[in-house]
Amino acid sequence: MIKKTTYSRAYEACEAFFTETGQMPTIDAIKPIIGVNSPSTISSAIKAWKKRLVTNPQKRSGCTAWRSACLADMVSALWQQSLTEARQVYNERYDELQAQQTALAAKEGVLNEESVRIQIAALVGTEIS
């Protein structure tokens, strides 16, 4: 049987730790998993694992295709819900502004009529009642 090196055990532990916790592995997190206190070797394994994580995110066992699809579906649903709520707020505010505009137009009409009445009364010389 081939004995695994500390480096390979640390590298595998990085993947397992990330898959289980969703957190980035640290030396202190990996040491108890592999049962070896070798900070420099563990650090090298973490650096290599992170490099692979960045360059090959879909090939990690912790990020399966179904998780990616599930996450994409959740983000899409959240986005659609946000758009629906934003449209509702927009439409409510639009309706409020339309009602205000209608009320202001009615007041403007009344003021224009009153202005015309005052001007006519001034021309005729009668008192406004």
pLDDT digits (tens, 9 = 90+) for 71-123: 888 888 999 999 999 999 999 999 999 999 999 999 999 999 999 999 988 88
Q: Is 31:37 a contact under the CB 8 Å cutoff?
A: yes
Q: What does the domain layout of the chain look like in residue ranges? A: 1-63, 64-129
pLDDT at residue number 21: 84
Residue 59 tokens read as: 């090939």
pLDDT for 57: 59
Lowest mean pLDDT of 3-17, 33-47, 55-69, 107-121, name the range: 55-69
pTM of the model: 0.45
